[in-house]
Amino acid sequence: MKNLFELKNDFLEYLEIERNRAARTLTNYDRYLNRFIQWLSNYVQKKEIEASDITEDNIRKYRIYLNRLAKNEKEPLKKITQDYHIIALRGFLKFLGKVNISIPAPDKIELGKTERKEIEFLERNEVERLLDSPRGTSRDSLRDRAILELLFSSGLRVSELTSLNRENFSLEKNEFSIEGKGGKRRVVFISEMAQKALYMYLKKRLDTDPALFVRHHGTKDDSDLRLSTRTIQRIVKKYAIRAGITKDIHPHTLRHSFATDLLRNGADIRSVQALLGHSSISTTQIYTHVTDKHLNEIHQQFHRKNKSTS
């Protein structure tokens, strides 16, 4: 009989090969499950932990342990991080059941209730001010304008944007295919303004680097000019300040703004899910309470208001 560490490795290989999970997901699951197995080893006082050591009572005690766990000098483990640990454990138990190992029912392990996260997004006038902030015809200015236009018109994740190459799309089309989160491919659409901004930028490029967005102040010896996600973050913050926007803006804020803009203008949530590349509709539903607030404002403004009569 394999011990729990060996079974965990089998599970990670299953996720990599059969489920095509991203390397980052595998790293996180490995860390979360190692924590569980180490805790269980200490709790039952055994060096060689087996699947039979996992009981409903032990899982309950582990959840209490996570909730009380100190991190970074007594900073509590965030509820969302605790949930990630439980999601990994639940997936592991489902795998064990799949290979006919008797374990507690994974479906009985419920996630803790968490406070609904507020979505930070830009209003339409703020978007316009941000997009108009890069001025001039220098390569950096044209590049930065193209980055902002592309982020807002496509809803791309910053990691997806930095991975783009020139060959990914044609300036004659307003769509291209990308490999998103979890290796899933989807079609991305961009606005006419984004197309124009990309055309103006690429027309000014002098290098032969395949990356779509690059830095222009490197030396001739630089083998990779591709912009990093951190650089994109700095660019977005720079122009948010220049536009007089006081919100704490990140590239993901433009993704939120993209989704909110679509929903406010009548797009159905399933279409928004596809455009964002969400695997689950529940992920996309975080935007509905934002649009619900907008509908509430309309209701308060127009419902049962007396019209003036002459």
Domain count within the chain:
2
Reference 232, options 132, 151, 130; nearest CA is: 151
Q: Look at residue 52 and tell me whether its pLDDT is greater than 80.
A: yes
- Within a domain: 278: yes
Q: Are residues 161 and 292 in the same domain?
A: yes
Catalytic residue, from 32, 201, 239, 287: name it. Answer: 287
User: Would you place residue 291 in the very low, low, confident or very high pLDDT band (cuts 50, 70, 90)?
Assistant: low
Q: Look at residue 281 and tell me whether its pLDDT is greater than 70.
A: yes
Please tell me the number of Cα atoms within 13 Å of 7 on its side-chain side.
26
Active site residue 139: no
User: Would you place residue 112 in the very low, low, confident or very high pLDDT band (cuts 50, 70, 90)?
Assistant: low
Q: Are residues 173 and 34 in the same domain?
A: no
28: containing domain: 4-108
CATH number, domain of 265, equals 1.10.443.10
Active site residue 252: yes
Q: What is the C-alpha to C-alpha distance for residues 207 and 215, in angstroms, rounded to an integer?
A: 10
Q: Are residues 185 and 243 in the same domain?
A: yes
Catalytic residue, from 85, 145, 255, 256: name it. Answer: 255
Exposed/middle/buried for residue 94 (C-beta within 10 Å: 0-12, 13-18, 19+): middle
Q: Are residues 52 and 161 in the same domain?
A: no
Active site residue 255: yes
Q: Are residues 76 and 216 in the same domain?
A: no
What phi and psi values does residue 220 have, to the nearest 5 degrees? -65, -20
CB 52 within 8 A of CB 93: no
Catalytic residue, from 181, 186, 204, 237: name it. Answer: 181
User: Would you place residue 39 in the very low, low, confident or very high pLDDT band (cuts 50, 70, 90)?
Assistant: very high
Catalytic residue, from 85, 90, 145, 157: name it. Answer: 157
Q: What is the C-alpha to C-alpha distance for residues 273 and 291, in angstroms, rounded to an integer?
A: 15
pLDDT digits (tens, 9 = 90+) for 123-142: 899 999 999 999 999 999 99
Active site residue 299: no
Active site residue 184: no
Q: Are residues 280 and 174 in the same domain?
A: yes
Q: pTM higher than 0.75 for the full model?
A: no
- Within a domain: 256: yes
What phi and psi values does residue 86 have, to the nearest 5 degrees? -70, -35
Q: Are residues 59 and 169 in the same domain?
A: no
Q: Are residues 137 and 282 in the same domain?
A: yes
